Amino acid sequence: MSEFRKVGAGEAWKSKFPEHVVVATTVDKKGRPNAITLGWMMPTSNQPPMLAISVGLTRYSHQLLEECGEFVVAFPDESAEDQMLFCGSKSGRDFDDKLKACGWETEEAEIVAPPLLKNCVANFECKVAGTLLTGDHTIFAGEIVSAHISKKSQDRLYNFGSGVFKSISSEI
Ligand SMILES: Cc1cc2nc3c(=O)[nH]c(=O)nc-3n(C[C@H](O)[C@H](O)[C@H](O)COP(=O)(O)O)c2cc1C
């Protein structure tokens, strides 16, 4: 008798929670910023420091990542939940400035054109170093060219599934 029950991949994926939440910023050709909420991000290299994000082919951010070749990955804290949900449900195609539309304050990055996001535990400035098409998403590997940690935000937001987002420390 097997310990396991065979299910579709979608059903098995429900066991992945809690999953971290990140937000990646990009800019268009005129320098206007956009932001996309992502669950699919991972560190990939220590030397040089690198990470990878997986972005759906239909996302506006996919187009901007191909155009500008730079992005910032930010780890939002609990106070940024509403803005994170906005960036994860509305497309930048429908706004002049998606970050202004949801009231998410930014700071200029040190090296890349996309901005840093406030109310985030950390921000990583990245330059696209390579891409890999994986089904309906593209993996963008980014070399981290500058990194910043917050002087005030401590607890990053996690996705607990079923629309529940909170920090781990608020659980303990
Ligand atoms: C919690 C959460 C996680 C998400 N993770 C991803 C992801 O890993 N990759 C992706 O392409 N879209 C992901 N999305 C969906 C995009 O954030 C969403 O389609 C967004 O509106 C795209 O914005 P854009 O068209 O301005 O790029 C996620 C959304 C949420 C709410």
Tens digit of each residue's pLDDT (9 = 90 or more) over 50-72: 999 999 999 999 999 999 999 99
Name the residue with the closest Cα to ligand 1, atom 4. Answer: 38
Least confident of 39-48, 54-63, 106-115, 149-158: 149-158
Q: Which two tokens stand for residue 57?
A: 């082919």
User: Model-level pTM?
Assistant: 0.97
**How much distance in Å is there from the Cα of 165 to the middle of ligand 1?**
15
Tell me how far the alpha carbon of residue 88 lies from the centroid of ligand 1, in angstroms.
5
Give SS3 for 14.
helix
Output the average pLDDT for the chain: 96
Res 48 pLDDT > 80: yes
Three-class DSSP category at 79: helix
Geometric angle at alpha carbon 61, from 59 and 64, rounded to 5°: 125
Helix (H, G, I), strand (E, B) or coil at 5: coil
